[in-house]
Structure 1
């Protein structure tokens, strides 16, 4: 009996030792699973979801389980699992989902969750890509930058890679001017970014080859805005093009921030071409331009060689409507710029029952005959207190979408707030008329955020004067709204004056083919009640805004 007890004990010990060795071996063979889990309804990462792995160990035939929590982006890892088929249960308060995974020894299996789907980019965003070729040398640009100016004044900048390529994700949808700058090379483009799509710069080509010196030429020059005396400032974003298509192609370019432009790759020689520059309601046409081959004219035909910078002149075919107000006289700025094809509409009718908004905007056919409409500060606010007629709102939206332009100043801000509440948020209660009018009068230093405007006024910081208090204050902007000027301003509150930082003073946005401008400062009257003639940066800013319409 004693011998039997010893043998039995020895057998148990050996069995225990064998099992322990086997468990150690199984542990060494253990694998894991890692990956990203998603919400099967939305397709987006399931941040914070619980992930539970359940299995039956094929060696011990015992059930096992481990769990973890996915991080904020839905990523997780579970290790120490036997080599077998495991069931993963992913759950949170919104869903529960199960997946099967085969665990491999000594490796982490990468989970592919079918709930994770390719989703469109950030709403209102697209991607800009390209490969920049210097057609003058026949080589790709190997260094430099591609810049898109965002509406907020911020710049999106992408570096050009050694093969000339670049990628710029998350570009707001809409029409943008793109600047490409590199050593010995600069060019500007106008592109339209579509939501969730990829926009390709036209210079991405399979073979980067130089322009044929024997068969192509170019036109160069410089554009500036008109001024009362002397040369106006450089004008960015002017559209310059050859009027006559050549072999069905319109050769065109846009002026850079310094006003210069170059139209390259034109089949040459050419004689008697018309070249036209346009910016807002201003134009200039060179009537008889000859283009020579690069072999004969390596620097191209300079259409502004005799004047250094060509000032644009008013386009006589354009018409303007000004709704007159008590405190702003934008029509005088138009007159100083030589724009005389202007109709005036009384914004403070003698008969209170007459509504200027109905007279200006109720008839779309009449409204569409104007290229731009200006609504001055100090119009009758009866229309705005009553609320704009729905037909007036719809006509205004359609007018802008189809290419019209609108300028609104200061106390007329409720017009913008009622028609485009999603674009600009003004201080105070949006449902209360004039609730944003709390600005303190004075001179304020402001930043010039729009590069073209900065070049035009010749400064990145200017002083803007507000002769009267209680000007309208902008509080928040949609990302698609351009900030031209921004600064710290005084704010009248509770009988005192506080300071609001980084307030947008002058802004604008595009909708379809048209544009809307709002400015808190404007042409004002002096102490004698007479209209001031602005001769400082305020006048230049207003001129530039008119160029933008």
Structure 2
């Protein structure tokens, strides 16, 4: 009986020791879910550098402390509302992929409040070096200047000098600048230099007859394989078959139509003849504007590649601390933006990729339009489209 009593006491002691002695028992934490990030709103209007024009389709974004992006775009009137994490933030405003036109401003985001940014803060600055070649039927430099941006006049002699053109980021080729009066012995050098320029990230715009810079020929082209040029003949054919008159047109690119605020407009082709795009490679070119018969009127590409072209720094690239990356937004929407180089490793760790979301990682843009800013003509809403071209190169 005594042994049985001692055994019971030993068991009780053991239980008490396990309950009160040794290591503290584990505490199961409650599942409180992810931390709630406090946010506020920033509103404003993106405007051109001189404050004269609202800019639609601009990217407006910032990052939180863990490098998550908060992103929106400006509407056709330049207005935007950006939800952003609370605190002192750097707000980025860009067009295109941000390599040529961008601004960075500091803003304090307040919890559950809206802060209105002034137009002094939301101006879109020019970081690109822009050049243009004077033409007979085009003056796109006028549009550049009305936006408050600057461009330098160069000649076909300059296009034949790679050292000269490589200092620029963008070159505008006004309709009629390539013609029979130019020393045609320059054309092989011009063609080779433009190929090198675009292959290394430079962008160009050509209108109407200046498709000859792309595919060859002078003044205008009348067949699908003219001599010269630098874009392969299999990628584009344009013939001088257009006639004078009003052509109804449709904006087929969603980003462009959102930036412009319209999807249809009329183009006044006030010359007796103009270039029709008769054939193009849809995997190479993106169509931005068509006529009602489904013929392309405005195309662009950043898929240009070439073999044997020299590797050379273009424009502000040698001094830029910004890098183009591709970020995927909710809804599997991809956007190309330029960010400070110091952010790149953190963004890549979150799934971003270095380089644009589409096209060649090194190629600049080529824009071609069959319409233009005629020196004496009235192109109506086409002028607004050319503003978009300028800012998105």
Which category describes the TM-score, using the shorter chain as reference length? Answer: 0.5 to 0.7
Cross-structure match for 1:453: 256
Counterparts in 2 of 1:164-313, with a 5 A limit?
212-213=35-36, 215-217=37-39, 220-221=42-43, 224-226=46-48, 232=54, 234-236=56-58, 238=59, 240-241=61-62, 246=65, 249=67, 251=69, 253=71, 255=73, 260=80, 262=82, 264=84, 266=85, 268=86, 270-271=87-88, 273-280=89-96, 281-287=100-106, 289-292=107-110, 296-297=111-112, 302-304=115-117, 312-313=123-124
Scaled by the length of structure 1, the TM-score of the pair is 0.46
Residue 481 of structure 1: how far off its partner (Å): 1.5
Residue 252 of structure 1: how far off its partner (Å): 5.5
Scaled by the length of structure 2, the TM-score of the pair is 0.62
User: Structure 1's 440 and 533: CA in aligned 2 closer, same or farther, altered over 3 A?
Assistant: closer
CA distance in 1 between counterparts of 2:160 and 2:34 reads: 51
Residue 343 in structure 1 maps to residue 159 in structure 2: no
CA distance in 2 between counterparts of 1:263 and 1:423 reads: 46
Q: Where is the helix percentage greater, Structure 1 or Structure 2?
A: 2
User: Structure 1's 420 and 210: CA in aligned 2 closer, same or farther, altered over 3 A?
Assistant: farther
CA distance in 2 between counterparts of 1:338 and 1:438 reads: 36
Structure 2 portions without partners, runs of 5+ = 1-31, 216-228, 304-359
Asked if the contact 1:253–1:261 (Cα under 8 Å) also holds between the matched residues in 2, the reply is no
Tell me the alpha carbon deviations over residues 368-426 of structure 1, each in whole angstroms, 9 at most, x when there is no partner: 2212001111113346976942x544432332233221000111102112211257422
Q: Where is the strand percentage greater, Structure 1 or Structure 2?
A: 1
Count of aligned pairs between the two proteins: 284
Residue 216 of structure 1: how far off its partner (Å): 4.7
Residue 223 of structure 1: how far off its partner (Å): 5.2
Asked if the contact 2:131–2:153 (Cα under 8 Å) also holds between the matched residues in 1, the reply is yes
Residue 451 of structure 1: how far off its partner (Å): 1.9
User: Structure 1's 368 and 471: CA in aligned 2 closer, same or farther, altered over 3 A?
Assistant: same
CA distance in 1 between counterparts of 2:184 and 2:141 reads: 25
CA distance in 2 between counterparts of 1:232 and 1:423 reads: 39
SS at match of 1:313: coil
Counterparts in 2 of 1:411-426, with a 5 A limit?
411-417=209-215, 418-421=229-232, 424-426=235-237
Question: For 2:382, which of 521, 538, 541 is the aligned residue?
Answer: 538
Report the aligned-residue RMSD.
Answer: 3.5
SS at match of 2:274: coil
Residue 380 in structure 1 maps to residue 198 in structure 2: no
Cross-structure match for 2:144: 334
User: Structure 1's 539 and 222: CA in aligned 2 closer, same or farther, altered over 3 A?
Assistant: same
Residue 235 of structure 1: how far off its partner (Å): 1.7
User: Structure 1's 230 and 371: CA in aligned 2 closer, same or farther, altered over 3 A?
Assistant: closer
User: Structure 1's 276 and 481: CA in aligned 2 closer, same or farther, altered over 3 A?
Assistant: same
Structure 1 portions without partners, runs of 5+ = 1-208, 347-355, 428-435, 489-500, 527-531
Residue 520 of structure 1: how far off its partner (Å): 0.9
Cross-structure match for 1:514: 364
Question: For 1:484, which of 250, 267, 288 is the aligned residue?
Answer: 288
Asked if the contact 1:448–1:460 (Cα under 8 Å) also holds between the matched residues in 2, the reply is yes
Residue 471 of structure 1: how far off its partner (Å): 0.5
User: Structure 1's 361 and 212: CA in aligned 2 closer, same or farther, altered over 3 A?
Assistant: farther
User: Structure 1's 263 and 229: CA in aligned 2 closer, same or farther, altered over 3 A?
Assistant: closer
Q: Which has the higher contact order (CA 8 A, sep 6+)?
A: 2
Residue 320 of structure 1: how far off its partner (Å): 0.9
Tell me the alpha carbon deviations over residues 40-88 of structure 1, each in whole angstroms, 9 at most, x when there is no partner: xxxxxxxxxxxxxxxxxxxxxxxxxxxxxxxxxxxxxxxxxxxxxxxxx
Asked if the contact 2:62–2:69 (Cα under 8 Å) also holds between the matched residues in 1, the reply is yes
